[in-house]
Chains A and B, each alone.
Chain A
Amino acid sequence: MPIPATVWGVSLVASLLPLVILCPLAVSIILMLTGGKLPARATTLLVGAGMGLCALFAVVSAYSFLSGPDSLGSLHVVLWNWMNVGSFNAQIALTLDRLSLVMMLVVSCVGFLILVYACAYMYDDENIARFFTYMTLFVASMLLLVLASDLLGVFIGWEGVGLCSYLLIGFWYGEQANAIAARKAFVVTRVGDALFLLGMLLMATAVGSLDIPTLLAVGPHAAPRTLTLGMFLLLGGAMAKSAQVPLQTWLPDAMAGPTPVSALIHAATMVTAGVYLLARLHGLFILTPLAMLACAIVGFVTILLAAGSALVQTDIKRILAYSTMSQLGYMYLALGCGAWHAAMFHLVTHAFFKALLFMAAGSIILRVHHEQDIFKMGGLRKDMPWVFAAFLAGSAALAGLPLITAGYFSKELILGSAYDLSPIFWAGALFGAFLTSIYIFRCVFIVFWGDHRTHAHGKSGLAMALPMAILSVLAIGGGWMEMPDAIAHVHIFSNLLAPVLGALPEEHNTSLLILGSLVPIAGVTIAWTLWRPKGEAPVAAESPAIATLRADWGFDTLYDWVFVRPFMVLAHLNRRDFIDRFYDLIAALTQGSGQAVAKLQSGQVRRYAGWIAAGTVAALCLAV
């Protein structure tokens, strides 16, 4: 019997969707079980094949889904029933709608490119198998987070990516600083995880279900105060994952991990999980204006604080880390404004250009003997022209140079919606964009112009060059999916997401657009006047204010005094552990009685006979 093409497509998607997650998971498990016995070549081949299949399945299922009937709002694939307690029911189920489709494509395709890059980057590391075990496990967790239709499933993915982030930041655990950075990232994000869990449980009690479609349908009928509290808790969880003020301190230290990790986890995917989660729940989020305002304020503050810190960093990866925080701030601002399209669009373009920037930075670091201080580089434009081109493309996209970069279009969309909320937000975000273009081109001019201060060696191989080339194209051209009406009537991205997120709001003021276009150019110009090659080698400016900026506005010191030290004092006071006393008592009693009874086991027959007689006496006492 011939099957209608659409039905065939749908069943194809339903069968491919679990495979998208299973491919990286299978690679991870294989690598885990072989325990590093595989040679590096086989490992990289396995990873490449697994991730390639994952990306292929993602693309095929996306294509089949989009070519299916429009009535197909979302596709629900129930894998199995997890628990059924009273009226509460949780399933392990995957949902593909247009929102999760976009995110799935980003994670699988960008993930594939980054892992191919990583195969070359990590090829000589002796622990390459362990590295890819974590990396592929991360991709599987992230895909689960993206595709799960149940908040519990999302939570599994959420914890999985957190774990992998911890493991990968501390990948080179031989150095204590790396291990400490990993622990810090874990502890700080754990605060967010606890909030997320609380929010989830609150939702479960208020709504009676954690299924996201049910939540969106039934949630609006819950008590407004409960809903607001729940959304605040979920927002807190998202903020910690996305390194937003005041839970941002872990991200700069997380740069201790290998650079592909920074590209994949701390730029493209994991840190945007919070944004995605809030976009998933936008139907509830929009009912809680207070939470939205808080979200916008958090994003706004983070943009400015992080951009300020990025301006004075000397470590190339820390510059990128602060810029990631700042760009995530834009996404939170957009979410706070209710501009879901803008947030998601910026998420996608940011994934392109930030992954590209990290890869380019990784190539530079690899070729200048693991030097990360930009003031010790210089003149690399001639040594590595292709890396320079890629870094320039990423920087231009990050700065949002008008028309020719992806970052421009997504940032404009956010700026426009911020203006709708309040001109103050707009002005702040615009100033943030100005700072962005200054700090990233400061980095570009110092690293690539001027005299040689370090010797670059080797070449970046094809496995590194190809992903960078692809991402460069995307960083430049990815923005043409969505353009303001004043430039061209292209709305591919917002039309794609329209069934989930609704139609794009009203068109914005053209004068705003022009201002937004001029600011990055002004920023680049200022950067050129300040840091263009001037004969002598540039040095990092030093002053107490700059030191504070560089140290993340003193957040670390503050937390050290407010949280860490009191905790250490408490821990010191309780070093004998009051609660353990009780268990020690039990242990001592057991030990004492054991020793007492062991004395009975003397080996002397007469004593045994005595005990037998005594036992007989006791038994007779009971009997007569």
Chain B
Amino acid sequence: MNIMLELYGLIAIGATALAITRTIPVHGLLYLVVSLLALACMFEQLGAPFAAMLEIIVYAGAIMVLFVFVVMMINLGQPDQLREKGWFAGGAWIGPSVISILLMGLLVYGLNHNTMAVGTVGAVIGPKAVGLTLYGPYILTVELSSFLLLAGLVSAYHIGRRIGGNS
């Protein structure tokens, strides 16, 4: 089982690395979907099947489709691809890489020094348990996230509405 988890992890990392380095948005999106699916598998391995299903349905399904729609609507072409390549040139990678590697190093270092007890293996947490917790102690958070979604809906509609004469 552990082997499977690490395998999925490697797939997720590789797909993500490819996703952020593509010059064509649709390619990037596809790799991202792969990464998300790998993550969903990891969730399943970690004993969270409900989260895994949600990850596939909502994330890889709905949100990524949203991205694809937008990419289709703004219709980037060949010149954009060349420009994207140009943006990768030179030292553009140096600073961000240093920061990211530092960040990663620190987090890994922190993990190694505050490890959770290794080898503890818990049982699967099913949808029922999640539902009980969600609508029990977290009911207020559910309400708040409904506010958030509503606000997101309204503002997305407002921003994205067709502009009048003076666009």
Contact = CB atoms under 8 A, between A and B. Distances in A.
Query: A and B, one complex?
Result: yes
Contact of A617 (B95, B96, B102): B102
A621 B96 CA distance: 18
B20 to A, nearest CB: 14
B113 A617 contact: no
Interface string A606-624: 0000100110110011011
A620 B105 CA distance: 10
Given A610-B95, A610-B96, A617 B103 contact: yes
B75 to A, nearest CB: 23
Nearest to B106: A620
B100 A613 contact: yes
Nearest to A621: B106
A624 to B, nearest CB: 4
B107 A620 contact: yes
Contacts, number: 23
B88 to A, nearest CB: 14
A620 B103 CA distance: 8
A614 B101 CA distance: 11
Contact of A624 (B95, B96, B99, B109): B109
Nearest to B110: A624
A610 B99 CA distance: 8
Contact of B110 (A610, A614, A623): A623
B164 to A, nearest CB: 27
Q: Which of A613, A617, A620 is the most central at the interface, judged by chain B CB atoms within 10 Å of its CB?
A: A617
A611 to B, nearest CB: 10
A452 to B, nearest CB: 88
B106 A614 contact: no
A624 B107 CA distance: 8
A587 B113 CA distance: 47
Q: Which of A610, A613, A621 is the most central at the interface, judged by chain B CB atoms within 10 Å of its CB?
A: A613
Contact of A614 (B99, B107, B109, B113): B99
A617 B98 CA distance: 11
A204 to B, nearest CB: 65
Interface residues of A, number: 9
Contacts of A616: 103
Contacts of A610: 95-96, 99
Contact of A620 (B96, B100, B110, B113): B110
Contacts of A617: 99, 102-103, 106
Nearest to A620: B106
A613 B99 contact: yes
A623 B102 CA distance: 14
B89 to A, nearest CB: 16
B37 to A, nearest CB: 27
A610 B103 CA distance: 12
B103 A624 contact: no
A312 to B, nearest CB: 88
A491 B69 CA distance: 116
A623 B106 CA distance: 10
A68 to B, nearest CB: 83
Interface string B80-122: 0000000000000001100110110011011001100000000
A257 B107 CA distance: 82
A623 B110 CA distance: 9
Nearest to A607: B95
A617 B106 CA distance: 7
A614 B100 CA distance: 9
A610 B93 CA distance: 12
A92 to B, nearest CB: 63
B120 to A, nearest CB: 22
Contacts of B114: 624
Nearest to A616: B103
Nearest to B107: A620
Interface string B117-132: 0000000000000000
A616 B107 CA distance: 11
10 contacts: A610-B95, A613-B99, A613-B100, A614-B99, A617-B102, A617-B103, A620-B107, A624-B106, A624-B109, A624-B110
Interface of B: 95-96, 99-100, 102-103, 106-107, 109-110, 113-114
Q: Which 3 A-B pairs have the closest CB atoms?
A: A624-B110, A620-B106, A613-B99
Given A613-B100, A623-B110, 12 more contacts: A613-B99, A614-B99, A617-B106, A620-B103, A620-B106, A620-B107, A620-B110, A621-B106, A624-B106, A624-B109, A624-B110, A624-B113
